[in-house]
Amino acid sequence: MRIVLVGPPGAGKGTQATRLAEKLRVPHISTGDLFRANISRQTELGKLAKSYMDAGNLVPDEVTIAMAKDRMEQPDAERGFLLDGFPRNVSQAEALDELLTTEGIELDAVLDLEAPEEEVVKRIAGRRICRNDSAHVFHVSYKKPAKDGVCDLCGGELYQRDDDSEETVRTRLEVYHTQTEPIIDYYKAQGLVVTIEAMGPVDEVTARALAALKREGDDQ
C-alpha cells in the first residue's frame, strides 16, 4: 500500500507510522529521516538542504521533493511506502501527484489522525525529559515520576524542552492549520482521506487504522 499519514503535532504520527509500516511491511519514509540521512551521507541534496538550514532558512519544496523521489525509488519501496511529514503543503501534494503519475502508480489512502486541540497541547506541554537520557520520558498527567522533577530510572533531572512549551505548541498548531491541514481537503476531493480517531491506547489507534485501511482496500 502507498499511504500518506497526516495529523497535528501530538497526534502520535511518529508512533503510528512506525507501527503501521511494520504491520503493512512497507518502509516508513519521514521527512526528518530523509534530511538526516542525506546530510549524514553528504549527498548533493543533503549538502543543499544543509546550506539552507545553516542559514536559518526553510528547505525549499523542490529539495524535499527530490529527496522523497529518490527514497521512493529504492527497491524496498516497490510494493509500497508510508509517507510521514510529506507532503507538508498543497504544493508538495501536487508535486507528489505529478511524480506518482509519472511513475504510473497511485496513493491508496491518506490517513488523517484526529485529536482535540486542547488534548494535543496537554500531551506535548506535559512531557518531561531526563537530562541524562532523552529516552526517559515522563508526563505530568499520564506518566508521573515517583518524585517531581526526578527520573525514576536514573535519578536525573526532568525538564521541559523549549519546543514543548505551551506557547510553542500552539504556534506549531497554527502552522499546521495554515500550511498542512489544507492538504486534507485536497485529498478529500480525490476520495483518499480516511479519518482515524487518534485518542486512546496506542494499540487501539493502530487497530483502528489497520481496520480502516482494510475497508478502504476492500472498497477499491
Nearest to 103 by CA among 76, 65, 69: 69
- By the 10 Å C-beta count (0-12 exposed, 13-18 middle, 19+ buried), 88 is classed as middle
Does the annotation count 36 as an active-site position? no
Which cell numbers in the block locate residue 145?
Answer: 515520576
Q: Say which of 2, 50, 88, 122 is annotated catalytic.
A: 88
Which cell numbers in the block locate residue 139?
Answer: 508526563
What is the crossing angle of helices 202-219 and 13-24, to 10°?
50
Task: Give CA angle at 59 (57, 62), nearest 5°.
Answer: 145
Does the annotation count 172 as an active-site position? yes
8 Å CB contact between 82 and 24 = yes
Does the annotation count 161 as an active-site position? yes
Q: DSSP string covering 139-150, please? A: ETTTB--SBTTB
Distance, in Å, from the CA atom of 33 to the CA atom of 13, rounded to the nearest integer, reads: 14
Mapping DSSP to helix (H, G, I), strand (E, B) and coil, where does residue 112 land? strand
Q: Say which of 13, 19, 71, 123 is annotated catalytic.
A: 13
**Side chain identity at 82, as an amino acid letter?**
L
Does the annotation count 123 as an active-site position? no
Distance, in Å, from the CA atom of 202 to the CA atom of 118, rounded to the nearest integer, reads: 19
Does the annotation count 19 as an active-site position? no
Q: Say which of 36, 161, 188, 214 is annotated catalytic.
A: 161
Residues catalogued as catalytic: 13, 88, 127, 161, 172
